[in-house]
Amino acid sequence: MTKSKIFVLTLISFVTGIAIANFFILNLFFIFCALLILIFFLIVFWSKYKLRIFFILLIFLGLGIYRYQISLPNINDDSKIYYYNNNQSIEFSGRIQKVDTRIDHQKITIDVKKITNNSKSVSGLVLVNTNLYPAYNVGDIVSIQCQLKVPTSFDDFAYDKYLARYSIYSVCGFADINIINYSSYNFLSLIKSKLEISLNKSIVEPQVSIIQAMLLGNRRNIPASILADISTVGLSHIIAISGMHIAIIVMIVVYSLIALGIIRQKAFWVTLVIITFYVALIGYPASAVRGAVMAMLVLYANKIGRLNYSINAILLAASAMLLINPRLLLADVGFQLSFMAVLGIIYLSPILKYKFRQLPELGQLKNMVVVTLSAQIMTLPLIVYYFNYFSLLSIVSNILVLPVLPLIMIWSMIVGVVGIFAPMVANFFGYGSYFLISYVLLVTKLVSRASIFKIELYFDQFYFGALAYLVIFIVIRRYRYLINY
């Protein structure tokens, strides 16, 4: 067995341990003792190659279990803010970590530093709901008075588990918020603001709101009726900056640079700088960071001509993320979608490119479409698994919209940047984005109202997902000679 295979197996063992720990609560002392025993046997049987590998894998399995167990909150620890989830009024202060602006309110994540009532130092995150105005910024130091509560599930949505993946175990309703110190000058916030203004001046509503959702993650101005239609036809993913979204953007940037004559090796470093800046610009959302890390690892493997190494690199990146936050594995659909999207780009894009070889290149547009479809196909079974149904509306709408998605994003990026320096020129280019988004809206409207496509097929989630990935695996095996190894 090669060192590379052993490396992959140890990572898989670690991830498996985290997955097992999601279903069984084990005593930390018991796990610690078991690990010591396994290490003892590893030393004793070190000269036995197969036994050595066996005990190494068991140790990493145990480490995965142990890592998940120590991530669970200790409700008896009074140095954590969630200790005070007793529905009584409490005043605390901290720094704003994230601001999520909705149509009629804001959701603010606070990194708590101390309880103001008794000046006791505490740590932890609190999700605060507050009015739409005044606006708050990331980095502001605030004092808040509210009633801390434990997140609860509602309408079959496990809201508590959803927040736990971000290490949030406390929420409070509309609270009294006072700003102690404003955040310092933020160059990235200024750039983002200028891009928003540029797009608003160059493109009319509601098209500009959809473009801002695609590029900057701002969904608050999209009309509710359009959001409903987009959701109905299965196109919600195009207005959300997810890991899959970032992977597609990475490939768009790379192929655009290659089309401009930049060699692939240099294109990698330029793309790394651009994507790092872009992820920082939109506020480092977790899904975007994960997608960027995984996509850049694939690009690096492709840069050095060893695409097969990208699987090792992706597993290493995934394991590192789970080491930091083991809740991601089963509680974060975005983590799973990011992982599967990148696998789709690695394994399915060469196959689709071969199948579409007769189609014209149109610069790098065909490559961008192939990358987009590859990510979509690989993530589709997961989407069906979590939502328990699949509609023909989704097939039709995605077939009609996905080919123009890369063009929309490229063109709109150009409009936004050009509009900062030459507004009149951007106004002219803005018509391109307007018509492209109008096409998406037209497809959304027509498909959502076409009764012939309103057939929803319900499946057993597990068996459908397993069968779908089995078919994809068979196809990959059938065309494995096309994949760059």
Check pLDDT > 80 for residue 106.
Answer: yes
Model confidence band, residue 302 (pLDDT cutoffs 50, 70, 90): low
Task: Look up the domain containing 89 and give its range.
Answer: 81-181
Q: Is 316 exposed, middle or buried (0-12, 13-18, 19+ CB in 10 A)?
A: middle
Q: Looking at residues 29-50, what average pLDDT do you find?
A: 90
Calculate mean pLDDT across residues 385-393.
66
Residues 48 and 92 in one domain: no
Confidence of residue 35 (pLDDT cuts 50, 70, 90): very high
Locate 297 and state its tokens.
């690892």
Q: What are phi and psi of 137, to 5 degrees?
A: -120, 150
Query: Tens digit of pLDDT for each residue in 41-50?
Result: 999 989 888 8
Q: Are residues 31 and 139 in the same domain?
A: no
CB 241 within 8 A of CB 439: no
The answer on 318 and 284 residing in a single domain is yes
Q: Provide mean pLDDT across the span 456-470.
A: 71
Cβ atoms of 125 and 168 closer than 8 Å? yes
CB 244 within 8 A of CB 237: yes
Other Cβ atoms closer than 10 A to 162: 15
User: 246 near 273, Cβ under 8 Å?
Assistant: no
Within this chain, do residues 59 and 134 fall inside the same structural domain, yes or no?
no
Q: Which of 241, 202, 201, 206 is nearest to 223 (CA)?
A: 206
pTM above 0.95, yes or no: no
Whether residue 269 sits in one domain with residue 346: yes
> Which tokens sit at 216?
């900057």
Residues 155 and 25 in one domain: no
95 within domain boundaries: yes
With pLDDT > 90 as the criterion, what percentage of the chain qualifies? 10
Domain shared by 329 and 435, yes or no: yes
- Domain final residue pick, 26, 47, 71: 71
Q: Are residues 24 and 132 in the same domain?
A: no
At 156 the pLDDT is 67
**H helices present in 325-422, as ranges:** 328-331, 333-347, 349-355, 365-387, 392-401, 405-421
- Tell me whether residue 21 is in a domain: yes
Same domain? For 277 and 156 the reply is: no
**Residue 40, domain member (yes or no):** yes
φ/ψ bin of 284: left (φ > 0), alpha (ψ from -120 to 50), beta (otherwise): left
What average pLDDT score do residues 350-358 get?
Answer: 83
- Total domain count for the chain? 3
| Domain match, 268 and 380 both | yes
Which residue from 77, 162, 175, 164 is spatially nearest to 123, judged by alpha carbons?
77
In a domain, 186, yes or no: no
